[in-house]
Amino acid sequence: SPFPIKLAGPVQKGFGRGGKDLGCPTANLPDEATEAMTVVAKTGVYYGYAQVIPPAERMGEFEKGELAVLPMVMSLGWNPFYDNKKMTAEIHIMHGFKGDFYGIEMRAIVLGYIRPELNYTSRDALIADIETDKQVALRCLERPGYHTYAEDKHFNL
């Protein structure tokens, strides 16, 4: 198994292609961090843990619960901006953040694959699938063996 896959980098601005209107904002990892995913290179939805790690001077923008290691779902796709030659990794952290965190360091451990990328004919079908992905991720992370990854030294504990 290629897992766990450890990713880290400052959160990039995306195309704003509707993450927030779908109730599912996705924090984009930079190219260099996404490259670690070429070991799998399979597009689709993954699950694991993520954490935002602000520098001391931006700590005030965050509430305590926002700094925890939290469950996440990640979408890995081809980036149209680079003629579909580069992958893009976008992480939705399963927590209600009070604000944006562009530029802030995000670390993640990817633990498994949920499903391939699908083409949706309706927005409602897409929203329903995202909901299912989050539930699947939470169920998968209940496996006792995974809890140790939430305490991995890749994260700030």
- What is the 3-class SS of 31-74, one letter each residue? HHHHHHHHHCCCCEEEEEEEEEECCHHHHHHCCHHHHCCEEEEE
Active-site hit among 66, 90, 131, 151:
90
User: From the list 10, 14, 44, 54, which residue makes contact with Mg ion (rule: CB under 5 A)?
Assistant: 14
Catalytic site includes residue 63: no
24-63 footprint of Mg ion as x/- string (CB under 5 A): --x-------------------------------------
Rank residues 14 and 30 by Cβ distance to Mg ion and give the closer one: 14
Dihedral, CA atoms, 99, 52, 68, 152, nearest 10 degrees? 170
Euclidean distance between CA atoms 53 and 15, whole angstroms: 23
User: What is the b/e burial string over 61-98, where b = at least 16 CB atoms within 10 angstroms of the residue's CB?
Assistant: ebeeebebbbbbbbbbeebeeeeeeebbbbbbbbeebe
Question: With CB cut-offs between 5 and 8 Å by kind, which of ligand ADP, Mg ion, none does residue 69 bind?
Answer: none
Structural contact between residues 156 and 118, judged by C-beta atoms closer than 8 angstroms? no
| Interface positions, 76-95, toward Mg ion (CB under 5 A) | 90
The whole-angstrom separation of Cα 47 and Cα 133 is 8
Binder of residue 102, out of ligand ADP, Mg ion, none (CB less than 5 to 8 A by kind): ligand ADP
CB of 17 to Mg ion, least distance (A): 7
Nearer to Mg ion, 13 or 64 (CB): 13
Q: Which is nearer to ligand ADP, 79 or 148 (CB)?
A: 79
Site residues (vs ligand ADP, CB under 6 A): 11, 13-17, 19-20, 25-28, 92-93, 95, 97, 100-102
The residues carrying an active-site annotation are 90
